[in-house]
Structure 1
Amino acid sequence: MENKYENFINRELSWLEFNERVLEEAGDKTNPLLERLNFLSIVSSNLDEFFMIRVASLIEQVQANFDKVDFSGLSATEQVKMITSKVHEMVHEKYDTYKDLNVHLKEEKIVIIKPKDLNQSQVDFLHIYFHKNVYPVLTPMVVDSSRPFPLIMNKSLNIALFIDGMDEKENIFATVQVPSVLDRIIEMPVTEGEEKCYILLEDIIKLNINDVFRGHNIKDMACYRITRNADLSIDEEGAEDLLEAIEQSVKNRKWGEAIRIEIEDDMSEELIEVLKDELEGSFGEFYRIKGPIDLTFLSKLKSMVNCEKLKYAAHKPVSVSEFISDSNMFDIISNEDILVHHPYQSFGCVVDLVENAAKDPKVLAIKQTLYRVSGNSPIVKALMEAAENGKQVTVLVELKARFDEENNIIWAKKLEKAGCHVIYGLLGLKIHGKILLVVRNEADGIKRYVHMATGNYNDVTANFYTDIGLFTSNPYIGEDASALFNMLSGYSTIDEMNKLYIAPTGLRKKFISLIRREEENASKGKKSHIIIKINSLVDKETIEALYKASKAGVKIQCIVRGICCLRPGIEGVSENITVRSIVGRFLEHSRIFYFYNDGEEDIYLSSADIMNRNLDKRVEILFPIEAEHNKHKIKNYLEVYLSDNVKARILCSDGRYNRVTFKEEDERINSQNYFAKKAMKQIKKAKKQEKEQKFIPITAY
C-alpha cells in the first residue's frame, strides 16, 4: 500500500488523546467525588512519565538536528510544538476540573485549605507542627558568588525565593526543596461538627518561611518543579555487570536535562528569569499552574478520607470456581484448561500455584518470568521457599522494566541469595512475556503445568488491571514452555513451536499471516471478521495489513485503550474498521486477538501490544485458546466490550474520540460492572453446586 501520511495518527498526539479521556473521567459526575480526584492524580502521573520518556526523546532528536519525519509526516520539532500546545490546553482543563472538584469537596465538608484562610488556632498548630516535623528536614540553599545554583532533583517540588541581602535593594535568590520524605498532605485537627481540613506541605513551609531565613525579609516566593529526561541509556554490550550498570543508571535518572518546568501562576517574572538563566541550554517549556503543582497527592487524599459514599463500592475479586473444591490444584488443571479473568476473579489462584509447587514434594522445577512485581510479592517469596526446599528454580527478572528497575534489582538479589538461578534479561531485548512453568514427577512420568497471561505477576496491580490468564497441562504447550526457557537461559534457538508464537522471532509474521488469511477469505466472498483488543496499536506494517484487509471487505473491530495510530473511516482505506477505547474504574490491560477463519474461529491471548518494540525488541508470547468453553468465554468478553455504551469512546477519522451515543430506551452497559456482577453470580452458583455435592443423601439400592 502506498504510504500516505494522512492515513496515520501521530503516536504522541494519540497518547495525549488517551490522557484526555482519563481527564474526562475526572469531570464525569457519574463517578464518585474522591474517584474523580484520583483520576486527576492519574492524569498528572501520566504526564510526568510522558515528558520524562517520550518528550525527552523528541527533544534529543531536535538537539541532534534529526529531521526525519515519522509515518504521520511530522518531524520531531513539529511534534514538540504540537505537544506543547496541547499540554498547555490540558493543564488549563485539569486545573479547571480541580477547582470545580474543590467546590464539591467543600459541600462534603472537606477542605484543602490555603494559608490565607487559616484561623489563629490553626496557624498555632502548624507553627508547632513545622518546627517539630518539617524544619529539621529542610535544607535552604542560597545562590551567590560562592554558592552556585544547586542541582534540582527530577520531579521534586521546590520553593524559589528572593530574600534581601546586605543592601535592602539587593535580591538574593534562594531555593528550598519540599521534602519528599514527608507526607505532602497533612490533616488538620478538627472539632466536632467542623469541616475536615487538609493542608499541603509547601503551604506549611511558606507559612513559616521567616523562621527558615531569620534576619532576612522574604521579598518574593513561589513553587516550581522540574521534570527531567529519565530515559535510561545503557550500553548493555559494554556492561560487564548489567545489574550494576542499571543501578547506576537509576541514580543518574534524577539529574537528566530539564524537559518541563512547572511554576505557580503568580510567580514573578524576576524569579522566572533566574530559573531561565540557571537552566540555560535546556529545551524545557514553562507551564504556569493555577493551583497546587503536581496533583498526584490527590490519590493520597482519597485514602485519607474515610467516606465510602465518595468512593467506588468496594471491589473484592471472587475465587475461581474451578479451584473452590478441596482437590489438588494440579489434578484440577490436568482435567481442563482454566481461564481466569482479573480483577473480577482473584489473582490468588496464581499465587496458590507457585506456593503449592514450592511445597509439593513431586515438583522438581519451577521456571518463571518476572517483569513487574509488587514490593511485597508473595510469588517471589514462594519462589525463594521453593529453592530453599531443594527445587530447581529459574527466574528471569527483567531489570530493564522502566521505573521498576530498582524494585526488580532488590528482588533479584534476594532470589539469588535464596538459591534461585536468576537471569537478568537478554542482550538488547526486554523479556515481557508472562509465563510460569512447573515440572512435576507423577506416576506416569514427568508432567508440565503452565500458566500464561496478558499481565504481570503482580498481586497488587491485579486488583485494578484487567487481564486474562490461562492454566494448562497441554503437553505441547509444556514442551514449548521448556523450549522457551532453554532459549532464554542458554544459547539454544527456537525454529518452530507447537502452539506458541514468540517475539521477536515469529510473532510479527504470525499476526500478518492471520490478517492476510481473513483478507483472502473476504476476497473469495466468504465471511471474515477480526476483533483485536490491545493497549496500543502503533506498528506501521500491521496497520497497513489491516488497511489492506479492510479494503478487501474484512470487518475489523479494534478495542484500543491507549495509543492508536490507525485512522479509521478513511474512504477507500479503512471504511470497514472501527476503533473504540474503554477508560473506566479498572485499567484495561488484556490483549485478545480473534479471527473468524471461515468459521473455525481462532482466538489468541498475548503479552504483546501491536507496537514495534513488542514485535521486534521484546520477548513476547502469543498463545491459543483452544477449549470450546474458554473460547465461548472470550467471545462473550469481546461482545460485552463492543456493547459498552457507558465508558466507551469511538475514534473518529480526525483523531478525536467521542463518547458512544445511545437512545433513551437502550440498556446501559458498563462492561467492567457487567464482568464484576457476572463473576459474582458464577462463584455463588459454583459454591452452591459444591455444597450440594458434599451433602448427597444416601439412597437405598
Structure 2
Amino acid sequence: MPKKSSATKKKTRSIDLPLPEDRFINRELGWLAFNERVLDQAADASLPLLERAKFLAITGSNLDEFVMVRIGGLKLQFDRNAMVRDAAGLTVSQQVNAVSSCCKDLVQRQYAILRDVLEPQLAEADVCRVKLDDCSDRIREVAQRRFESDVSAVLSPQTITHDRPFPLLQGLGVHLCVRLRAEPKPVKRLNDQDFERFGVEDAAAAVAEADPWQYAVIPLGRTVPRLIPVPMDRGHGYILLEDLVSYFVDDFFPGREVMECVAFRITRNADIELQEDGAADLVDGMEEILESRRLSRVIRLEYHAEASDSVVAFLSEMMQLTNLDLYPIDGPMDLSYLFTLHGLEGYDSLRDQPWLPQANPDIDPADPMFSTIAKGDLLLVHPYERFDPVVRLIEEAVADPDVLAIKQVLYRTSKRSPIVAALMRAAERGKYVSVIVELKARFDEARNIEWAREMEQAGVQVIYGIRGLKTHAKVCIIVRREPQGIVRYMHFGTGNYNEATAKIYSDVSILTCNDTLGADATTFFNAVTGASQPQQLQLLAAAPMTLRKRILNLIEAETRRCLEGQKAEIVAKLNALVDTQVIDALYRASQAGVRIRLNIRGVCCLRPGVKGLSETIEVISIVDRFLEHARIIYFRHGGDDDLFISSADWMPRNLDRRVELLVPVIDQRCREKLLSTLRTYFRDNTNCWRMLPTGQYKRGKPEGKEKASFQSQRVLYDRAVEAVRKLKQSRRTTFETHQPKEASGT
C-alpha cells in the first residue's frame, strides 16, 4: 500500500476535528435576514420608483407569511415546551423574543422607507396618496359621493358590548376600531329603600351606571377596492379605503359621538397541519384545516401608531395578546396595495423595462414537440426562455392519437391553468390521465381541491398525494405509441406547473425521452399512486427514500477525492440550506479542502469562511428582478462532472417529509448550458450578497480589476436574446428551397 503524503495526513486529521457547537445559524433569523435583503431593493435609489414599491410590497407579503407560519409554529412549540433548543442552541422562548424584536425593527424600516422616501418621490412623479384632511373641496366632494354610493351601503359596523362578543374577523384584512362616547343607562326613579341600601351617591351611580367602554368594529372586507381613485389636476391620485371610511365614519353612528377611529389588522396562526391518521377523507380533512385557520388564534395585532392606549388595551384584551404581539404601524396597514400601484397604466418610466421571455432556438414552432425532443434533450432556463414549450407539449399530447397516457404531479397551479384544462380534455377524449394533486400545498389548498374535483368530473384519475408526506416533485410523463414501440416523453422541472409564475421565477426545465429516465419516472410515479415501496431507481433519486443518502454520498465522494490529492469542487444553487446533517458533511468537505460555492437565495444555517471549519466555503444570495427558485447541484466527481436539477432544497422537510426528485442532466449540450448558468451567478457584483461568518450579509460591488458591474440575471437574459438573434441571422444566411408536394399516386 502506498504511503500517504504528509499533506494527505494533515487533511485527514483536520476532518477528524470536533465541530463547534455554534456552527449553525438560527433558521428564523436567517429568513428575516433574507427579507432584509429584499427590503434593501426597496431602498435602492438606482431602481425605478414603482419597482421599489413592488419590493416593499413583497417584504410585507413575506413577513405576513412568516408570522402566520413560522411565528405561529414557535408559539405552538412554546405552549408545549419553551425550553427546547434548536440547532443554533436557542430555546423556543429565546427565539420568540429574538424574532419578535427583529420583526419590529424590520417593520419600522419598511415604513420609514415608505413614509420618508417612496411616498414623497411618488408624489413628485404624480402618483399621490390623498389625505382628506388636506385636500381640495372638489376632491372631498368626490370622495363623499364615492363613500355614499359605493361604500356605506356595503359595510356594516358591529357594536361590541358585554352581551355581544367580539366579532370573528378575517385574518390579514384591514378593519376599523371605533371608540364611541359611552351612553348612560336610563335613570330609574329612586325610592327610600334604594337610598337606605346604597346611600345617596352610590344609589344614583347604581341606576345611572354607564358601560365602562363602548366600541364598534367595521370590517372593510374585500368587496370594495382598497384604492379609491380621485381626480387630480395631473397624474394619479388615490385614497385608501380605510382613510375614506375613517373620514366619514360618523355617518355609521348617527346621534353618537365618535371619539376615535383606528385602522388595525390581525394575523392568525396558519401553522395548522392535518392529522392524517384521523382523516377518513383527505378533501374533507383539508377543508377542516381551512376552516381551522379562519378560526385560529390571533398572534399579531397591527394598529395605527396614533391609537390611544384605551383602544390598544381593548383590542389586546379581546384577543388575549401580549406586548410581543403588538405592532404599532406609522402608515397604512397591509402594504400589498403597492402591488396595485406597480401595475398602474401610463407609468412605464417608473418601472423596469420588460424582459420578454425568449424562444429556445432549438425548438422550431413548425415541428411537433415530440419530434423536437426525439432529436435531443432540451434545457429551458426560465423566465429568460418561455415556458410555452412545456404547455405546448401537454396540449399536443391531448390532440395526438398516438398518445396513450399522461401522468403528472401538480403542486401549485395558476387560477386559469391551461395545463389543467388540457388534462381534462385528454381524459374526455379517452386518454388515460393520472394526476397527483397535492392538497396540502400551503395556502393553495382551496384551489387544488377545486381543481381536483373538476378533473375527477372530467374523468381524470386523481390521487391526493401520500399519507404523511407532501408530493412536491415536478414531473410529467407522456406515454406515446411509436413504430419502434412505446416511448415516454418527460418534463422534469424545479418550478411549479404555473405559466404565470414561470414569468417571474427563475427555474429550469428539462424535456427528454431518455429511456432510462423514462423507466425511472414511471416506477417513481406508480409507486406514489400505488402507495407502494418503489423499486430501485437507476438515475433518479427520490425523497424520502434515497435523495438524502445520494446527496451525502456525493459530498463524501468529493471529500475522499480531495484527501487523495484530486481536484474537488461542489457548487449548489438552492432556496434554503437548513439540514444539519448535510451542513456537517459540507463542513467536513471544507476541512478536507474541497472548494464549495453555494448560492442560497433565502435561509442558510451554515457559517461560511470560519477558520478551521469552513474556510473553503463561499455563500452568496442573489436578490434581483426575478425570484431565484431553481435548484441546481454540481459535483466535480473526478472530472466527470455530476450535474443535477432538483425540486428539493436541503431542508429536513424536503429530504424526509416530502416526495421530491433529484434528476441528473445527461445531454452534453444541456449540461454545458446549465453549468454555465450556475457559474454565472458567482460573477455577480451588483445584486449579489455575500454571507459573512457571523451570518450577516454584505452587498457585492465591483472591486479590484472589475470596472463594470456584472448583473447575473441581466447576463442570462442577454444570452437568451443573443441566442434568438443568432438563430434569425443564420436563417437569413441559409437558403431553403420550396419542395413540391408528394405525388398523390393518381
TM-score tier after normalising by the smaller chain length: over 0.9
1:637 corresponding residue in structure 2: 677
Q: Deviations over 1:169-196 (max 9, x none)?
A: 86411111122222111211234xx342
- For residue 205 of structure 1, the aligned residue among 245, 262, 270 is 245
| Corresponding letter in the other structure for 1:520 | R
Indicate the SS of the match to 2:278: coil
1:138 corresponding residue in structure 2: 155
Q: 1:60 to 1:3 in 2, by over 3 A?
A: farther
Structure 1 stretch 136-145 or stretch 578-587: which is displaced more?
136-145
Indicate the SS of the match to 1:683: helix
For residues 269 and 2 of structure 1, what CA distance do their matches in structure 2 show?
53
1:29 corresponding residue in structure 2: 45
2:140 corresponding residue in structure 1: 123
- For residue 493 of structure 1, the aligned residue among 526, 530, 533 is 533
Say whether the 8 Å CA contact 2:39–2:59 is kept in structure 1: yes
Say whether the 8 Å CA contact 2:26–2:605 is kept in structure 1: yes
Q: 1:140 to 1:527 in 2, by over 3 A?
A: same
Structure 1 stretch 273-282 or stretch 627-636: which is displaced more?
273-282
Q: Deviations over 1:235-284 (max 9, x none)?
A: 21221110111012112212211111111010000111111211226686
- 2:584 matches 1:544: yes
Ranges of 4+ aligned residues in structure 1 off by more than 4 Å? 168-171, 281-284, 690-694
Structure 1 stretch 16-25 or stretch 326-335: which is displaced more?
326-335
Q: Deviations over 1:441-487 (max 9, x none)?
A: 00111111111001101000000000001001100000011101110
- For residue 149 of structure 1, the aligned residue among 149, 166, 171 is 166
1:536: Cα distance to partner?
A: 0.1
User: Where does 1:171-250 land on structure 2 (aligned, <5 Å)?
Assistant: 171-191=213-233, 194-250=234-290
1:307 corresponding residue in structure 2: 347
What TM-score do you get using the length of structure 2 for normalisation? 0.91
- 2:621 matches 1:604: no
- For residue 95 of structure 2, the aligned residue among 79, 84, 88 is 79
| Corresponding letter in the other structure for 2:240 | L
- 2:715 matches 1:668: no
Indicate the SS of the match to 2:506: strand
2:181 corresponding residue in structure 1: 164
Q: Deviations over 1:306-363 (max 9, x none)?
A: 2101001122111121212522211111110100000000001000000000100000
| Corresponding letter in the other structure for 2:508 | I
Q: Deviations over 1:414-459 (max 9, x none)?
A: 1111100000110000000000000000011111111100110100
The CA RMSD over aligned residues, in Å, is 1.6
| Corresponding letter in the other structure for 2:499 | D
2:56 corresponding residue in structure 1: 40
Structure 1 stretch 656-665 or stretch 206-215: which is displaced more?
656-665
1:66: Cα distance to partner?
A: 4.0
Q: 1:277 to 1:545 in 2, by over 3 A?
A: same
Say whether the 8 Å CA contact 2:523–2:535 is kept in structure 1: no
User: Where does 1:354-503 land on structure 2 (aligned, <5 Å)?
Assistant: 354-503=394-543
- For residue 342 of structure 1, the aligned residue among 382, 389, 399 is 382
For residues 5 and 159 of structure 1, what CA distance do their matches in structure 2 show?
48
For residues 404 and 3 of structure 1, what CA distance do their matches in structure 2 show?
40
| Corresponding letter in the other structure for 2:434 | T
Indicate the SS of the match to 1:450: strand
Structure 1 stretch 317-326 or stretch 197-206: which is displaced more?
317-326
Q: Deviations over 1:569-617 (max 9, x none)?
A: 1111101101000000000000010001111111010000000000000
Say whether the 8 Å CA contact 1:56–1:229 is kept in structure 2: yes
User: Where does 1:287-306 land on structure 2 (aligned, <5 Å)?
Assistant: 287-306=327-346
Q: Deviations over 1:24-74 (max 9, x none)?
A: 000011111001000010000001000100001111111122422011000
1:684 corresponding residue in structure 2: 725
1:693: Cα distance to partner?
A: 4.6
| Corresponding letter in the other structure for 1:572 | G
1:559 corresponding residue in structure 2: 599
User: Where does 1:243-322 land on structure 2 (aligned, <5 Å)?
Assistant: 243-280=283-320, 285-322=325-362
- 2:108 matches 1:109: no
1:691: Cα distance to partner?
A: 5.3
For residues 735 and 413 of structure 2, what CA distance do their matches in structure 1 show?
38
Say whether the 8 Å CA contact 1:321–1:687 is kept in structure 2: no
Larger radius of gyration: 2
Say whether the 8 Å CA contact 1:137–1:179 is kept in structure 2: no
- For residue 571 of structure 1, the aligned residue among 576, 595, 611 is 611
Structure 1 stretch 294-303 or stretch 366-375: which is displaced more?
294-303
Say whether the 8 Å CA contact 1:450–1:472 is kept in structure 2: yes
| Corresponding letter in the other structure for 1:475 | D
Q: 1:114 to 1:510 in 2, by over 3 A?
A: same
Say whether the 8 Å CA contact 1:258–1:282 is kept in structure 2: no
Q: 1:249 to 1:324 in 2, by over 3 A?
A: same
1:124: Cα distance to partner?
A: 1.1
Taking only the aligned residue pairs, the percentage that are identical comes to 39
- For residue 11 of structure 1, the aligned residue among 15, 27, 34 is 27
Indicate the SS of the match to 1:558: strand
5+ long unaligned stretches in structure 2: 1-16, 186-209, 740-746
Say whether the 8 Å CA contact 1:59–1:283 is kept in structure 2: no
Q: Deviations over 1:71-114 (max 9, x none)?
A: 10001100010011111111111111101111111111211112
Say whether the 8 Å CA contact 1:325–1:690 is kept in structure 2: no
| Corresponding letter in the other structure for 2:364 | I
1:653 corresponding residue in structure 2: 693
| Corresponding letter in the other structure for 1:429 | L
Indicate the SS of the match to 2:612: coil
Say whether the 8 Å CA contact 1:258–1:284 is kept in structure 2: no
Indicate the SS of the match to 1:237: helix
Indicate the SS of the match to 1:448: strand
Structure 1 stretch 686-695 or stretch 654-663: which is displaced more?
686-695
Say whether the 8 Å CA contact 1:257–1:282 is kept in structure 2: no
1:209: Cα distance to partner?
A: 0.4
1:695: Cα distance to partner?
A: 2.5
For residues 188 and 488 of structure 1, what CA distance do their matches in structure 2 show?
55
For residues 351 and 616 of structure 1, what CA distance do their matches in structure 2 show?
31
Q: 1:140 to 1:5 in 2, by over 3 A?
A: farther
Say whether the 8 Å CA contact 1:242–1:424 is kept in structure 2: yes
| Corresponding letter in the other structure for 2:361 | S
1:118: Cα distance to partner?
A: 2.0
Structure 1 stretch 179-188 or stretch 686-695: which is displaced more?
686-695
1:625: Cα distance to partner?
A: 0.9
| Corresponding letter in the other structure for 1:368 | Q
Say whether the 8 Å CA contact 1:154–1:255 is kept in structure 2: no
For residues 735 and 480 of structure 2, what CA distance do their matches in structure 1 show?
29
2:7 corresponding residue in structure 1: none
1:493: Cα distance to partner?
A: 1.9
5+ long unaligned stretches in structure 1: none
Structure 1 stretch 315-324 or stretch 528-537: which is displaced more?
315-324
Indicate the SS of the match to 2:168: coil
Indicate the SS of the match to 1:7: coil
For residues 3 and 104 of structure 1, what CA distance do their matches in structure 2 show?
51
| Corresponding letter in the other structure for 2:144 | H
| Corresponding letter in the other structure for 2:330 | K
Say whether the 8 Å CA contact 2:19–2:613 is kept in structure 1: no
For residues 385 and 443 of structure 2, what CA distance do their matches in structure 1 show?
27
